Amino acid sequence: MNKHFWRFAILPAVFVAGLSFAQFPVLDMVADKVVQKYQTATCEQLWMNKGQPKSAEEQRVIGLLRSDPAMRTEFLNRVAAPIANKMFECGMIP
C-alpha cells in the first residue's frame, strides 16, 4: 500500500509542476526579454534608465502581473536572480 500511495502522491505534483510552466506561454517571452535586457545592459545604461517612464508595453505587462498573483510569482521566480546579480554588480544594491 505504501508504494501505491507514493505513486498517487507524486503524479499530481509532477502534473502541477508541468502545468505551471505551460500555463503562461507569454510569460516565457517576457521573462526571457527582461533577463536578456539586464544581462546585456551596461551599468551605465541601467543607471540612466532608472526612474525613466515605462513604455506602454511595460505598463501593460506590469498591470497583468499585478492582477494575477500566480503569474507574478512565476515571473519573479524567473527574473529575480539575474536582475539582483546585475544590480549587485552595478552597485545598485548593497
For 19-23, 55-59, 84-88, which range has the lowest pLDDT when averaged over its residues? 19-23
Domain boundaries, the chain: 24-89
pLDDT tens sequence across 9-56 = 443 444 444 444 457 788 899 999 999 999 999 999 999 988 889 899
- Is pLDDT of 69 > 70? yes
Cα distance between residue 23 and residue 62, in whole Å: 18
pTM over 0.85: no
